[in-house]
């Protein structure tokens, strides 16, 4: 059976998607086909609804799937309505982070026959095999559907064991186009999960869903690594098939969570002679000179830390990020001690943050002398604790049309504070480096 998977990245950075690559790997291993429509103006004009429908009629997929982030959901809704009107019998399914965070909203729209919640690596395969048999499955784990006018909501299955998944298949993407856009930087995962409970992130909400459904005991079930030997094989295969790759970005939420794993991975990376520089995400609560030394010797060139705010009160009360400025300084010191380039993520436009507290972030960035930093405007994703914290300030009309995290805040701060944030975004790089 063939699925047309539609993945929009409109007005957003172009890149691959680990979840889609995993779905493709599972489906291809079982003899099914995935045709990926990667929608981005970065390398191809965004299709109109008419063009999309023409393509579906030409290729005749057995079902259409959407993988969606919150900022892209309105575009997906528009296309789904057009497909439903033109081909009412064509099965539509949807998944992705947005569906996991606000499944009721997506389900109640009645646009999609099957709404996937959580990690759908095996769930999509089960759906396609049932449809191929002519069944109308309404008891599959991870899915919400409709039996006539009756809504059906099934619990999630346990988190997939990463040891049992087929290799991720990135061939469904136009790798040459993606690598051209990213200048050879290739994102990939060595693990899934994060133990922290940051208010702006969806991870803890996912864990809570699995615990509520009886599919996980605690957050430890969420934390999984791909086998190191499998990772080495996959990395070398990617490099061989895509010579444009010149840097790996290990997009794990927290690559340095376990120092023993970091050392094991780095030893294998050297032993297998992957010979590609790489970048990792660290955390100031779990990064030391042992990890820094192992990373440097294996070819790591950048360690990225999520600081988000330089103000202890904002980190503690708004973001639920429990770290001290001294820990932050020590982590950057550890990275610099082994000549690792350091990078940080920071947020502006946080709810209930004063100008003085914003400047604490700027001053901390300057103090630790990070190699680079990337700022973004706080975005309140529906379903997160951050959304509830910021709710009195949210302008819902701005959320609907916001495709990225840089062009403006969707919170109602007032004209004066908006102007301050705009000036800050333009000048902060020069201020930090002064």
Q: What does the domain layout of the chain look like in residue ranges?
A: 2-153, 183-433
Q: Pick one of 2.70.70.10, 3.30.300.30, 3.40.50.280, 3.30.460.10 as the CATH number of 2-153.
A: 3.40.50.280
pLDDT (tens digit, 9 = 90+) per residue, 255-298? 999 999 999 999 999 999 999 999 999 999 999 999 999 999 99
The pLDDT score that the predictor gives to residue 431 is 73
First-to-last CA distance in the chain?
A: 59
Q: Which helix (H) or strand (E) is 374 found in, with range?
A: strand 372-377
Q: How far is 261 from 43, CA to CA, in rounded Å?
A: 38
Give the pLDDT confidence score for residue 43 in this predicted structure. 84
Would you state the pLDDT for residue 10?
94
**pLDDT of amino acid 429:** 81
Residue ranges in the chain whose pLDDT is less than 70: 400-404, 434
Q: Compute the distance between CA of residue 36 and CA of residue 174 in angstroms, rounded to an integer.
A: 9
Supply the pLDDT for residue 409: 87
Q: What is the pLDDT of residue 74?
A: 94
Name the H helices within 188-324.
Answer: 203-212, 228-241, 259-271, 289-298, 312-313
Question: What local confidence, expressed as pLDDT, does residue 408 receive?
Answer: 78
User: pTM (2 decimals)?
Assistant: 0.94
CATH architecture of 183-433: Alpha-Beta Barrel (3.20)
Q: Do the Cβ atoms of 265 and 235 come closer than 8 Å?
A: no
Residue 404: the pLDDT is 66
Would you state the pLDDT for residue 434? 59
């Amino acid at each position: 059976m063939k699925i047309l998977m539609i993945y929009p990245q409109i007005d957003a950075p172009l890149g691959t998607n680990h979840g889609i690559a995993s779905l493709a790997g599972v489906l291809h291993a079982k003899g099914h086909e995935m045709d990926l429509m990667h929608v981005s103006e970065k390398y191809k004009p965004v299709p109109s609804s008419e063009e999309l429908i023409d393509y579906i009629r030409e290729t005749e997929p057995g079902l259409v799937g959407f993988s969606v982030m919150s900022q892209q959901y309105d575009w997906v809704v528009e296309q789904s309505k057009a497909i439903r009107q033109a081909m009412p019998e064509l099965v539509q399914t949807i998944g992705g982070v947005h569906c996991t965070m606000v499944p009721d909203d997506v389900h109640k729209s009645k646009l999609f026959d099957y709404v996937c919640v959580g990690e759908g690596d095996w769930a999509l395969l089960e759906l396609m095999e049932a449809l191929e048999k002519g069944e109308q499955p309404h008891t599959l784990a991870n899915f919400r559907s409709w039996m006539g006018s009756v809504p059906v909501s099934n619990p999630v299955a346990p988190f997939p064991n990463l040891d049992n998944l087929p290799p991720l298949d990135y061939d469904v993407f136009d790798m040459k186009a993606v690598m051209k856009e990213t200048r050879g930087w290739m994102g990939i995962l060595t693990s899934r999960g994060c133990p922290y409970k940051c208010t702006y992130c969806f991870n803890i909400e996912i864990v809570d869903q699995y615990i509520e459904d009886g599919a996980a005991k605690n957050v430890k079930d969420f934390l999984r690594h791909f086998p190191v030997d499998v990772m080495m094989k996959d990395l070398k295969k990617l490099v061989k098939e895509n010579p444009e790759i010149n840097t790996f970005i290990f997009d794990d939420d927290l690559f340095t969570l376990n120092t023993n794993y970091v050392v094991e991975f780095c030893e294998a990376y050297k032993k297998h002679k992957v010979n590609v520089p790489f970048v990792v995400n660290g955390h100031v609560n779990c990064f030391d000179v042992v990890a820094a030394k192992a990373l440097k010797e294996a070819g790591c060139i950048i360690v990225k830390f999520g600081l988000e705010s330089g103000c202890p009160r904002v980190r503690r009360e708004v973001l639920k990020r429990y770290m001290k400025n001294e820990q932050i300084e020590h982590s950057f010191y550890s990275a610099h001690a082994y000549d690792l380039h350091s990078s940080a993520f920071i947020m502006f436009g946080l709810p209930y943050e004063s100008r003085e507290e914003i400047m604490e972030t700027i001053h901390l960035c300057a103090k630790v002398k990070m190699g680079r930093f990337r700022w973004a405007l706080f975005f309140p994703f529906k379903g997160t604790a951050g959304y509830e914290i910021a709710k009195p300030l949210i302008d819902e009309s701005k959320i609907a049309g916001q495709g990225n995290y840089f062009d403006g805040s969707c919170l109602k701060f007032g004209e004066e504070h908006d102007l301050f944030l705009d000036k800050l975004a333009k000048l902060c790089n020069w201020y930090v480096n002064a």
